[in-house]
Amino acid sequence: MLKKSLKFISLLLSLILVSCVSYEYVNIKNQALLKYPINKPFKESEFININGAKLHIRRWKPLNENKRSKGVVLLIHGVSGSTYNWRFLGPYLAQNGWDVLTADLPPFGFSGEKQENSYSMDPLPQDSRSRANLIFELYHKIYPEIPEKLILIGHSLGGRIASLLAIDNPDKVTQLVLLAPAVYGKSAIPTVTKYWPFNIIVHTGANIGLNNVNIVSFVAKMAYGGEISQEDLIGNIAPFLRDGVPEACGEWTIKSLDNEAPEMEKISIPTLILWSKNDLIVPNKGIKLQKSVKDSIYVEIPGSSHCIMDTDFKLIESQISVFLN
């Protein structure tokens, strides 16, 4: 653990030292603000308050022939992700008869408002179970009459959150899909970053890093397992351009510590695990996870992409479609 933490800090320091706000960043920033206006970044964007937290949500309603819903699918993104990452899977599931709901989890995406006397964009606790409870409260508010079928699809840290929801609500969740899930350990980020002086470095690094196109592009390439288009770079960076978000991300990194990892062996519903063979962000533990979750299927995705729903969406869509049907 110490070796991994030191490696992370070394990388973070290196990125800070080479960073500078470039003309290219200003250009991309202007394009992002124009394409994704903060008040309505997408045509289906809505904002809703849950327990004092302002959430940006998107819904895709069934578009199949008879427009009757097969059930509800909740899509849950990971660290630094947003509803942008579901731009392929959300509409695809709706076209196949599912009612699809997704939300940005503060401080990521377009959710949250800056709190008084704090960098935080969110008044609620920032551990994974609190995020799971937030998502479930949103679900109950949008669907006061509980549908017969509720499917959870979580990516990275969203896979951890989806797992907790499945463990806590086995009578309500019918199927679970985990995409490169960060389900092991107590934190999505090395624990050493929670303590001085590393927490100072994290705050500084988040503010500088999210204002530098080279750093954002470097991290995005790792997540995508290779080159990233300018369109995807703009889509991923747009939510971080709101006032206070870089600082809030630094604070989230320090505070987002879980007391314990999800007890994956307690998952009792059919589960599909999809994971790249050489994931550069969350190392592949698909076989280990399949052995822990009794009623599970593991499918290895070729390559090194962490954001497989972005880079391998055709393959992901076909695997999920077979699993759900």
167-197 burial, b at 16+ Cβ within 10 Å, e below that, comes to: beeeebbbbbbbbbbbbeeebbbbebbbeee
Tokens of 56: 């940006």
Q: What is the pLDDT of residue 63?
A: 83
- Cα dihedral 130, 134, 139, 145 in deg (nearest 10): 80
CA 289 to chain centre: 19
Q: What is the pLDDT of residue 1?
A: 54
CA distance 253 to 20: 22
Nearest to 19, CA basis, from 198, 240, 220, 208: 208
Q: What is the pLDDT of residue 3?
A: 58
Q: What is the pLDDT of residue 18?
A: 42
User: Per residue in 200-239, pLDDT tens?
Assistant: 878 777 877 887 778 888 899 999 999 999 999 999 999 9
pLDDT beneath 70: ranges in the chain: 1-23, 64-67
How far CA 212 is from CA of 113, 178, 253, in Å, comes to 23, 31, 19
Q: What is the pLDDT of residue 16?
A: 45
> Which parts of 109-184 fold into alpha helices (H)?
128-142, 157-168
CATH topology classification for 2-324:
Rossmann fold (3.40.50)
Q: What is the pLDDT of residue 321?
A: 97
CA distance 300 to 298: 7
Backbone angles phi, psi at 83, to 5 degrees: -65, -20
Tokens of 323: 């699993």
CA distance 175 to 93: 14
CA distance 161 to 282: 15
Q: Which amino acid is at 7?
A: K
CA distance 220 to 311: 12
- Residue recorded with tokens 């179970």: 129
CA distance 223 to 58: 23
In this structure, are residues 84 and 35 in contact, taking their beta carbons and an 8 Å threshold?
no
Q: What is the pLDDT of residue 214?
A: 81
Q: What is the pLDDT of residue 2?
A: 52
Q: Are strands 45-50 and 53-60 parallel, antiparallel or unpaired?
A: antiparallel
CA distance 307 to 275: 9
User: Per residue in 25-44, pLDDT tens?
Assistant: 778 889 999 999 999 999 99
CA 306 to chain centre: 11
Tokens of 108: 């990521």
Tokens of 237: 């960076």
Q: What is the pLDDT of residue 17?
A: 41
CA distance 300 to 286: 8
How far CA 224 is from CA of 50, 183, 236, 304, 312, in Å, comes to 32, 20, 11, 8, 10
In angstroms, what is the C-alpha Rg of the chain? Answer: 19
